């Protein structure tokens, strides 16, 4: 099936073109079937491609397949071709994107049923899938960059999908601008890479990079710039504030783009370039610190949010922080494993939240929910599974991926583990808080909302159920040796990370230590879940508007938006005001208008010479002739 | 006649130049200070003829006849100019009942 790689991104693109052109004339069912069908066909092909890669890996090969579509351009030494690369890393990404993408398309058919922009929505979703596939399939950094920019564009379009609301439109702009900052880093990294290696192809770069010394300054620059790019796309400190605002988009968008796929592009980028990063220990150190800080910050902010989607958004920021910690401490497989499991359970949680919002007639405030367990049984049970998975309670998926990262973090430095563990405690607490506030206690909404309560249609619950199953069993992809597993995923991905592993061997952790770490984190998660139960079910302590101290700080997101406003936005506005009034109005306008006014004024003065008396004109003429004579005489 | 021509040729060139300058200056001053259009036309003719005289004098001085050819051209031109000028003056007179140059004070912005 490897000959059909090119069809995988092409099908969603065709879906985009057809739906985009016919969004007004096609019926909703046709649009839904076409869009989902295109992604489903891509998924089937991806499965076939994956099985080829899998069997090649089982046979002990490296399983790297390329397919050149066409040469894009050749300028001097720079030759860029549109080539697709399928290897273990990209084949897994293919499965995630098309698989979860299909489920979310299916879900969106039900969720967006009453929306006027139905056709436009599916066209954008298909376009997003196309660009995301381009991003992971490209065999060089330039194709990756196109996909990178493309998903950013789709993210902008879909966050601002309900663009008539100015708040949503400005959230879209914020996401776009924040991402541009990161993209600048990416672009500079591309220039550095080409300047250093003379090519943009992965194969050429990585084989040349192997011979660089540890801590090479060029590699350090490149990796730092790539990391800036990743902080933008994957919402890390300091560029994370766009992601919570991005929840302005429809819920399927939050699930697909801002939880499962696009935001993991930064992790994909670093995992792909792992050899460059392994040779730059300073960057890795920075990634670990930023990742930990983001994980903690996101988790602490999520503790007090009352908007159900905001909780999940900050949870995503926090989980992405975990993945970066994994990358930073060299647990590339662990980080990527977390990408996979996170895609399962976070997509599930977002879709579940969407189902709740749908049932509550677009109410997102958890303080106005409660007792939905009876009315939404499928949503409740699937979301509970997602919550258990993300909280890291075995045997659900989050436990395995999170503990692999935490184990590596412990090996790097115990303090990393402590901080990661604290973030995990917060995670368990805010997730169970979400569950208890939403599904337990007494109903706190209006009477009309209560009348309207209904379980979502099948097209929404089926994806929930499938994702719940994946969230349950996804962890068994990579069971650690300490629990008698075979590290299946790690073995599958081994060729990707082989060069890095050769330079920096994986830390060996005694099984007893690993058991201890796992035990502590599981007990911690259970205790936090119990505490949340005590607080929100037993005491029915519904968060009020009155907050003090830490809670207030956390509820207001540590005033980071305000800080950025104060630090960057307002000075920019102020200086542009200065530039407008001083430079633009006085300087440039003054100069241009001054010239015009000067000429006009001179004309008004000089025209007074035109008195109309011919004798005066004659006199001036004679005077002129005399002056010319005098000038002629003098100049001789 | 022979005598006159020979006598004329004994007049030094400087005298012609001074004389022409004098006539030319009278023409210029006449144009500048008089307000009657007909007299101004006459002053212009004076200037033209001062130049003609100078051209003829230089022509003889250099023994080159092309100067005198110029004089004929200028005379023809002057005749045409006077014809047009007088026609304009007549039209002005018909409209303003005056040949005062200041009657034409509309020639401005």
Chain B residue with CA closest to A603: the answer is B109
- Answer whether residue B108 is part of any domain: no
- Which stretch of A34-48, A284-298, A363-377 has the lowest confidence by average pLDDT? A363-377
Query: Is residue A78 classed as helix, strand or coil in its secondary structure?
Result: strand
Nearest-angstrom CA–CA distance, A161 and A145: 24
A521 has pLDDT over 80: yes
Q: Which domain holds residue B36?
A: 2-101
The DSSP call for residue A257 is I
Distance from CA of B83 to the nearest CA of A (A): 20
Low-confidence ranges of chain B (pLDDT < 70): 1, 109
- Chain A within 8 Å of B104 (Cβ-Cβ)? yes
Predicted pLDDT of residue A425: 93
A402 and A421 in a single domain? The answer is: yes
CA distance A522 to A507: 22
pLDDT at A518 over 80: yes
CB contact under 8 A, A612 and B105: yes
* Bridge partner list, A138: A84
- Which of A139, A164, A195 is the C-terminal boundary of a domain? A139
Using CB atoms, which residue from B31, B102, B109 is nearest to A613? B102
Chain B residue numbers with beta carbons less than 8 Å from the beta carbon of A607 are 109
- Is 90 exceeded by the pLDDT of residue A363? no
Asked whether residue A457 falls in the same domain as residue A344, the answer is yes
How many helical (H) and strand (E) elements, i.e. helices and strands, does chain B have?
A: 4, 0
How many domains, in total, are found in chain A?
3
CB proximity B101 to A under 8 Å: yes
Task: Please indicate, yes or no, whether residues A387 and A448 belong to a single structural domain of this protein.
Answer: yes
Asked if pLDDT for residue A512 goes beyond 90, the answer is no
Query: Can you give the CATH number for the domain in which B61 is found?
Result: 1.10.287.3510
Contact in structure between A227 and A169 (CB atoms under 8 Å): no
Q: Are residues A584 and A502 in the same domain?
A: no
Residue-wise pLDDT tens digits, A99-155: 999 999 999 998 988 888 899 999 999 999 999 999 999 999 999 999 999 999 999
Count of beta carbons in the 10 Å neighbourhood of residue A573: 11
Digit-coded pLDDT (tens) for A155-170: 999 999 999 999 999 9
CA-CA distance, A219 to A222, in Å (whole number)?
5
The DSSP secondary structure of A128-172, one letter per residue, reads HHHHHHHHHHBSBHHHHHHHHHHHHHHHHHHHTTTTTSHHHHHHH
Q: What is the pLDDT of residue A272?
A: 93
3-state secondary structure of A65: strand
Furthest CA-CA distance within chain A: 117
- Are A134 and A145 found together in one domain? no
Whole-number Å distance between alpha carbons of B91 and B19: 35
Rounded to an integer, the average pLDDT of A383-390 is 94
CB contact under 8 A, A618 and B31: yes
Residue A6 and residue A62 share a domain: yes
Contact across the interface for A618 and B107, Cβ inside 8 Å:
no
pTM of the model as a whole: 0.81
- At which residue do the structure tokens 């290897």 appear? A87
Please indicate if any CB of chain A lies within 8 Å of the CB of B105: yes
Residue B109 domain-assigned (yes or no): no
Residue B21 near chain A (CB below 8 Å): no
**A536, A582: one domain:** no
Task: Name, in order, each residue with C-beta under 8 angstroms of A493's C-beta and a sequence gap of 6 or more.
Answer: A88, A89, A92, A332, A333, A336
Which residues of chain A are within 8 Å of residue B106 when distances are taken between CB atoms? Answer: 612
Of residues B28, B102, B107, nearest to A622 (C-beta): B28
Q: Of A607, A613, A619, which is closest to B105 when you measure between CB atoms?
A: A613
Per the CB < 8 A criterion, the answer to whether A143 and A272 are in contact is: no
Give the N- to C-terminal CA distance of chain B in Å, as an integer: 57
Q: 3-state class of A74 per DSSP?
A: strand
Q: Is A113 helix (H, G, I), strand (E, B) or coil?
A: coil
Long-range pairs for A333-336: beta carbons < 8 A, 24 or more residues apart: A333/A404, A333/A478, A333/A487, A333/A489, A333/A490, A333/A493, A333/A497, A334/A401, A334/A404, A334/A405, A334/A408, A335/A267, A335/A271, A335/A405, A336/A89, A336/A92, A336/A267, A336/A271, A336/A489, A336/A493
CA of A529: how far to CAs of A327, A405, A542, A564, A580, in Å? 28, 22, 16, 34, 55
Cα B74-B75-B79 angle, rounded to 5 deg: 115
CA distance B14 to chain A (A): 19
Among chain A residues, the shortest Cα distance to B27 is held by A622
Nearest Cα of chain B lies from the Cα of A594 at a distance, in angstroms, of 24
Whether residue A125 is found in the same domain as residue A149 = no
Are the C-beta atoms of A387 and A471 separated by less than 8 Å? no
A-B contacts at Cβ under 8 angstroms:
28
Whether residues A146 and A123 share a domain: the answer is no
Domain boundary among A555, A576, A610: A555
Shortest distance between the Cα of A628 and any Cα of chain B, in A, equals 16
| Helical pair A458-473 and A377-391, crossing angle rounded to 10 deg | 30
So what's the pLDDT on residue B109? Answer: 63
pLDDT at site A311? 93
Domain that holds residue A613: 564-635
The beta-carbon contacts of A413-417 under 8 Å, at least 24 apart in sequence, are: A416/A288, A416/A292, A416/A325, A416/A329, A417/A517
Q: Which of A400, A138, A170, A428 is nearest to A303 (CA)?
A: A428
Examine the domain organization and report whether A192 and A206 are in the same domain: yes
Flag if A613 and B35 touch (Cβ within 8 Å): no
Identity of the residue in B28, B32, B108 whose CB atom sits nearest the CB atom of A612: B108
Q: For chain B, how many structural domains are there in total? A: 1
Query: Interface of chain A against chain B, CB under 8 Å?
Result: 607, 610-615, 617-619, 622
User: What is the rounded average pLDDT for all residues in chain A?
Assistant: 90
Mean pLDDT computed over every residue of chain B = 89
Q: What is the ipTM of this complex?
A: 0.85
Q: Is the pLDDT of residue A362 over 90?
A: no
DSSP 8-state secondary structure symbol assigned to residue A212 = S
Q: Using an 8 Å Cβ cutoff, are A300 and A426 in contact?
A: yes
Of the three residues A504, A520, A555, the one that is the final residue of a domain is: A555
Residue to test with chain A: of B41, B105, B109, most A Cβ within 10 A: B109
Q: Crossing angle of helices A265-272/A141-159, nearest 10°?
A: 170
* Cα–Cα distance for residue pair A462/A441, rounded to 1 Å: 27
Asked, for residue B33, whether it belongs to a domain, the answer is: yes
Supply the pLDDT for residue B1. 67
Q: Do residues A294 and A317 make contact, with C-beta atoms less than 8 angstroms apart?
A: yes
């Amino acid at each position: 099936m490897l000959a059909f790689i090119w069809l995988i991104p092409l099908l969603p693109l065709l879906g985009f073109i057809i739906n985009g052109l016919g969004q007004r004339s096609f019926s909703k069912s046709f649009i839904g079937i076409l869009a989902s069908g295109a992604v489903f066909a891509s998924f089937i092909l991806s499965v076939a491609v994956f099985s080829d890669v899998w069997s090649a890996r089982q046979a002990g090969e490296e399983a790297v397949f390329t397919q050149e579509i066409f040469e894009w351009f050749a300028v001097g030494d720079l030759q860029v071709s549109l080539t697709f690369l399928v290897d273990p890393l990209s084949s897994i990404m293919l499965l995630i994107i098309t698989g979860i993408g299909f489920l979310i398309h299916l879900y969106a058919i039900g969720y967006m049923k009453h929306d006027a922009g139905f056709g436009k929505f599916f066209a954008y979703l298909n376009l997003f899938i196309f660009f995301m596939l381009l991003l992971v399939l490209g065999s060089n950094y330039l194709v990756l960059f196109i996909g990178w920019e493309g998903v950013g564009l789709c993210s902008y379009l879909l966050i601002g999908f309900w663009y008539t609301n100015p708040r949503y439109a400005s959230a879209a702009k914020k996401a776009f601008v924040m991402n541009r900052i990161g993209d600048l880093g990416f672009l500079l990294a591309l220039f550095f890479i080409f300047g250093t290696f003379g090519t943009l192809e992965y194969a050429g770069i990585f084989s040349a990079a192997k011979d660089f010394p540890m801590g090479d300054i060029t590699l350090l620059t490149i990796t730092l710039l790539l990391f800036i790019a990743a902080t933008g796309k994957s919402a890390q400190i300091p560029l994370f504030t766009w992601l919570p605002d991005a929840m302005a988009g429809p819920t399927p968008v939050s699930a697909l783009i801002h939880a499962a796929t696009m935001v993991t592009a930064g992790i994909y980028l670093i995992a792909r370039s792992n050899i460059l990063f392994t040779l730059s220990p300073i960057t890795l150190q920075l990634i670990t610190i930023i990742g930990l800080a983001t994980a903690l910050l996101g988790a602490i902010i999520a503790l007090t949010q009352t908007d159900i989607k905001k909780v999940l958004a900050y949870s995503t920021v926090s989980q992405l922080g975990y993945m970066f910690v994994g990358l930073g401490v060299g647990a590339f497989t662990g980080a990527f494993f977390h990408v996979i499991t996170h895609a399962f359970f976070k997509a599930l949680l977002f879709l579940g939240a969407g189902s709740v919002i749908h049932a509550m007639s677009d109410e997102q405030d958890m303080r106005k929910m409660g007792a939905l367990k009876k009315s939404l049984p499928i949503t409740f049970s699937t979301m509970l599974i997602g919550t258990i998975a993300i909280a890291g309670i075995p045997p659900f998926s989050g436990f395995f991926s999170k503990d692999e990262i935490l184990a590596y973090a412990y090996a790097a430095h115990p303090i990393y583990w402590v901080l990661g563990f604290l973030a995990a405690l917060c995670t368990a607490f805010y997730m169970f808080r979400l569950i208890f506030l939403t599904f337990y206690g007494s109903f706190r909404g209006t009477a009309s909302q209560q009348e309207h309560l209904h379980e979502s249609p099948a097209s929404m619950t089926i994806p929930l159920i499938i994702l719940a199953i994946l969230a349950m069993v996804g962890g068994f992809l990579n069971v650690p040796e300490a629990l008698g597993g075979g590290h299946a995923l790690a073995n599958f991905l081994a060729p990707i990370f082989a060069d890095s592993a050769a330079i920096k061997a994986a830390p060996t952790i005694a099984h007893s230590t690993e058991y201890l770490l796992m035990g502590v984190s599981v007990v911690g998660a259970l205790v936090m879940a119990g505490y949340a139960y005590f607080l929100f079910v037993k005491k029915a302590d519904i968060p009020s508007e009155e907050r003090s101290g830490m809670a207030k700080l956390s509820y207001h997101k540590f005033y980071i938006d305000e800080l950025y406003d104060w630090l960057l936005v307002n000075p920019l506005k102020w200086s542009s005001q200065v530039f407008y009034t001083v430079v633009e109005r006085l300087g440039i306008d003054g100069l241009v208008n001054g010239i015009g006014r000067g000429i006009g004024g001179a004309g008004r003065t000089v025209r007074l010479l035109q008195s109309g008396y011919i004798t005066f004109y004659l006199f001036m003429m004679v005077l002129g002739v005399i002056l010319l004579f005098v000038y002629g005489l003098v100049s001789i | 006649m022979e005598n006159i021509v020979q006598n004329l040729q004994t007049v030094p060139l400087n005298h012609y130049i001074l004389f022409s300058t004098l006539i030319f200056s009278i023409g210029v001053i006449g144009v500048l200070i008089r307000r009657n259009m007909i007299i101004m036309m006459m002053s212009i003719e004076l200037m033209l003829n001062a130049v003609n005289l100078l051209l003829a004098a230089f022509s003889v001085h250099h023994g080159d006849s092309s100067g005198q050819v110029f004089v004929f051209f200028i005379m023809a031109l002057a005749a045409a100019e006077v014809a047009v000028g007088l026609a304009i003056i007549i039209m002005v007179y018909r409209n303003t009942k005056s040949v005062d140059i200041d009657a034409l004070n509309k020639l401005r912005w």
